[in-house]
């Protein structure tokens, strides 16, 4: 589904950006613990490496079998980047050494931002690292201050809330969903991220009521100078009982805006277009977005990415004289994180990666000679790691352009190198952070 926003294409310099770029974020797809992982309790985490390891020893046999098989990502340099990041996992080394037909450039990037959350990862990727500290609800139980709970209940005219703890979203819905439906109390929980998550049944509680409650909660948090919470997330679900409750695609993230202008803002200011696929628009608090494509599931998100690429081509052909000549298609594949990483589902993660890999040739074939494709991630979420939180890891940076010679781009000192490279490709002025590899 496509939504479009009007925006001005005027710039102070009069210059116009040109070109097309596609940025795909495989949410949570880390490739090895970073040097500061000890600050997060994540020394030894490796999302890609441990998935490859579990597949190699036969622990991922449901719906697939054998070694992790990602021929297209391998040709783009994924396993080479993984080996550069962490060469201690034999299964990953074997996959890296087996691939000799590299068609893309590859690197691994460390994160400058202080946190390992979704917002920080995406904003840094777009040229704005997060150096301030978010507010976290660290207590595992009775997580939220009493004043915040009271304010949420008053704003939503609620008889109370359920949970008030750290929890996995699917687990907490199964555990408290029936009580929620009977009592009318929403399920309010958090995690190691700077987040308030509110789950409610779409029918018994109402989707619009849930969204209104999340909007009100966002305003409550914004009004408290002692709370700097990154996101409020609406988690609607349907079903009749614990055995069949399932979250729907109507999730909504209410984020604080980035602290300064991002690559997205700068592209719009230069007369370009930004096509958000999935939750990108929510992550950037709707800023710097001209077109929104909503979808649920990896296949649907990929198809919407292809639709956006087709729409860009049509718009550029139609409006060559007065339309945009530059576009960024920015997609977040949230399911790798929400459905497999947080749930510690190694087999599901492996299967989803292989399904995504099989889709890639369609995108590669649709790219023009001068189009730039970058595949990366925003943090790790090792499905073999204790707990259910993100892991502090390097992320892959896979770069493909038909007229670009493949090479090892080495270690990147910031995710912002991605945004800087896209800015360079599109003819934008340099961003404040990052070094271009284009």
pLDDT of the residue at 249? 87
Q: Which residues contact 40 (CB under 8 A, 6 or more apart)?
A: 116, 391, 392
Question: What domains are there in the chain, each with its CATH number?
Answer: 2-132+259-426 (3.40.720.10), 146-255 (3.30.70.1250)
Which has more pLDDT, 28 or 324?
28
pLDDT of the residue at 5? 59
How far is the first Cα of the chain from the last one, in angstroms, to the nearest whole number?
Answer: 33
Please report which helix (H) or strand (E) contains residue 264, including its range. Answer: helix 263-269
Which two tokens mark 80?
């080479």
78-109, pLDDT tens digit by residue? 999 999 999 999 999 999 999 999 999 999 99
d(CA 190, CA 320): 48
330-349, pLDDT tens digit by residue? 999 999 999 999 999 999 99
Ranges assigned E (strand) in 13-85: 19-26
CB count, 10 Å around CB of 177?
24
Q: Do residues 218 and 254 make contact, with C-beta atoms less than 8 angstroms apart?
A: yes
Could you tell me the maximum CA-CA distance found in the chain, to the nearest angstrom? 62
Which two tokens mark 175?
């555990």
Helix 47-56 to helix 346-366 angle (10° resolution) is: 110
117-174, pLDDT tens digit by residue? 999 999 999 999 999 999 999 999 999 999 999 999 999 999 999 999 999 888 999 9
Phi-psi region of 204 (alpha: psi -120 to 50; beta: other; left: phi over 0): alpha
pTM comes to: 0.92
Which two tokens mark 378?
């925003």
d(CA 111, CA 194): 17
């Amino acid at each position: 589904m496509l939504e479009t926003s009007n925006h001005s294409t005027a710039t102070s310099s009069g210059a116009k950006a040109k070109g097309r770029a596609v940025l795909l974020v495989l949410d949570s797809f880390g490739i090895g613990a970073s040097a500061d992982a000890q600050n997060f309790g994540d020394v030894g985490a490796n999302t890609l490496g441990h998935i490859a390891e579990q597949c190699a020893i036969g622990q991922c046999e449901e719906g697939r079998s054998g070694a992790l098989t990602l021929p297209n990502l391998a040709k783009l340099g994924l396993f080479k980047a993984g080996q550069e990041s962490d060469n201690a996992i034999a299964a990953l080394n074997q996959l890296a050494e087996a691939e000799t037909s590299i068609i893309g450039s590859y690197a691994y990037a460390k994160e400058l931002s202080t946190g390992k959350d979704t917002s920080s990862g995406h904003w840094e990727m777009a040229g704005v690292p997060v150096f301030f500290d978010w507010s976290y609800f660290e207590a595992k139980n009775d997580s939220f201050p009493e004043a915040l709970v009271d304010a949420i209940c008053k704003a939503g005219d609620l008889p109370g809330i359920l949970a008030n703890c750290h929890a996995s979203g699917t687990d907490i819905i199964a555990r408290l969903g029936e009580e929620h439906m009977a009592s009318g109390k929403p399920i309010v929980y958090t995690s190691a991220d700077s987040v308030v998550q509110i789950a409610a049944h779409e029918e018994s509680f109402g989707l619009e009521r849930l969204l209104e409650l999340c909007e009100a909660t966002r305003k409550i948090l914004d009004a408290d100078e002692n709370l700097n919470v990154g996101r409020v997330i609406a988690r609607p679900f349907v079903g009749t009982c614990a055995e069949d409750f399932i979250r729907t695609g109507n999730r909504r993230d209410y984020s604080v805006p980035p602290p300064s202008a991002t690559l997205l803002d700068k592209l719009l200011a230069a007369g370009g277009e930004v096509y958000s696929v999935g939750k990108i628009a929510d992550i950037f608090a709707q800023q710097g977005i001209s077109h929104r494509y909503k979808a649920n599931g990896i296949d649907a998100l990929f198809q919407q990415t292809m639709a956006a690429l087709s729409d860009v081509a049509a718009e550029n052909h139609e409006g060559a004289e007065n339309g945009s000549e530059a576009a960024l298609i920015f997609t977040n594949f949230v399911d790798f994180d929400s459905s497999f990483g947080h749930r510690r589902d190694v087999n599901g993660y492996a299967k989803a990666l292989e399904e995504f890999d099989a889709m890639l040739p369609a995108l590669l074939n649709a790219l023009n000679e001068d189009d730039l494709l970058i595949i990366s991630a925003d943090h790790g979420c090792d499905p073999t790691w204790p707990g259910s939180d993100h892991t502090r890891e390097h992320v892959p940076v896979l770069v493909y352009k038909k007229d670009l010679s493949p090479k090892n781009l080495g270690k990147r000192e910031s995710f912002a190198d991605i945004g800087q490279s896209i800015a360079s490709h599109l003819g934008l002025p340099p961003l404040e952070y990052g070094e271009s590899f284009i």
